[in-house]
Structure 1
Amino acid sequence: MAIDQQARTLLAQSTRWLVGARITNYQFDDAIPKSDDPAIREIYGQFLWLLYCDLREHRLTGSDSLAPAQRDVATRCVLFLKSGLPYPWPTLSRPMSALLTLGNLLTLGLAGRIYFHRLSAAGDMTFWPFLSASQYSAALDSPVYLSGVGANNSFKPTPLRGAA
């Protein structure tokens, strides 16, 4: 499958806004791009939609704030979406994903644990959606957001047009 960088950029931006409480969960859902890129479907379906309640509109603040571990994974998802890497994990078709969800409900989570165990054989789940620590580390070495900021560089924002 081809990488849909435009859709990935939109999902990365929307995820940053959701996690930063700049948009509501409903606004986030409206911004999910339609794409055949498996990274879009898997990152949204396997992680992002689990971050919030579908039954009411809210921002991820207060009692709806993310746990630090959820923020870490969301950050990795944004980094992966901007990395340009192909999605390396096995994917499920929509019917198989629905079947897994149903099976998970009927088996009180056993089906999900079995699937997770099989998925773990493909790579290091600690770094998902990256496949490995080295892949994640390489992406960290060339960040898209705030690149150029470092010990030898200062962050100098571009002034707005017409600004003095």
Structure 2
Amino acid sequence: MTTNPYQSPQHDCSRGALPAAAGRYAGGWGSGVVDRDQRDKLSRDLRRLVTGRMTNDDFDDLYFDAYEDSPDDAVREIARFGWGLYSSDVLMPYRLKGRHRVNGDEKQAAARCVLFLRTDRPYQWPPPPSEPARRAAWALALNLGLPGSIAMLVICLPLLLFGNDWLFASVLVVPSAAVLVLSLWVLIYQSRVESPALQAWRLAGDWHAWPFLREEDLAAERIGATIADQTRAAGSD
């Protein structure tokens, strides 16, 4: 999988860390649709995923069946965040526990997502960059370059060292090794280095408040949630 735009960045996205993007705080993106039912369901499903009460396969089914094409931008993008917390390229389903557990930054982001889903705020972040060329390079390296070059080396090296057809083998060994090195470089580079487009996208708002656009929006909802909790606690006494 290529860089997940909703994971913690490799650089500091606080205000002033990079030149401010022209669209910072501009808002106005998205449909403005608020699907209360889907927000409630996703809030529950995301909590279950992050706390290890739901497998990656279960969330996969929900993501593609219910959330991926939601008319509510918040549901669609927050579900994409949840989908990026795990790998689907494994044979057996697993839960986000033990060595698969989410890190501290991801837990905080998930908590902000749950808080946002409880509101009726419109989602104001612009769509993350799609970067088709970057994704295509990743897919080619992962699905063709890496396994293909390894297979060719496994076949050709014994022929080169022990067989009689050393000329045929020697012609293929160098290109296969070059493809292997290039594929590894693409996979490692893209997993560690963000593109300028992704860096600029993160500066459309206060990244550490995502999915809220501004830190003050997040602070206001946290205060409101605290007051609501205190009111419920007082009513139960």
TM-score for both structures, normalised by structure 1: 0.76
1:18 has 2:49 as partner: yes
Q: Which runs of 5+ in 2 are unaligned?
A: 1-30, 139-185
Change (3 A) 1:76 1:155: farther
SS at match of 2:204: coil
* Contact 2:59-2:83 within 8 A present in 1 as well: no
Matched residue pairs, number?
A: 151
Among residues 209, 220, 230, which one is paired with 1:127 in the alignment?
Answer: 209
Structure whose CA Rg is larger: 2
The offset of 1:87, in angstroms, is 0.8
* Contact 1:43-1:129 within 8 A present in 2 as well: yes
The offset of 1:81, in angstroms, is 1.5
Residue identity (%): 30
* Contact 1:15-1:74 within 8 A present in 2 as well: yes
| 1:56-135 equivalences in 2 (<5 Å) | 56-91=92-127, 97=130, 99=132, 102=135, 105=138, 108-109=189-190, 112-135=194-217
Distance in 2, Cα, partners of 1:11 & 1:151: 25
1:40 has 2:75 as partner: yes
Change (3 A) 1:37 1:104: farther
Distance in 1, Cα, partners of 2:93 & 2:235: 35
Change (3 A) 1:126 1:148: closer
TM-score for both structures, normalised by structure 2: 0.55
SS at match of 1:83: coil
Distance in 2, Cα, partners of 1:86 & 1:7: 14
Structure (1/2) with the larger helix percentage: 2
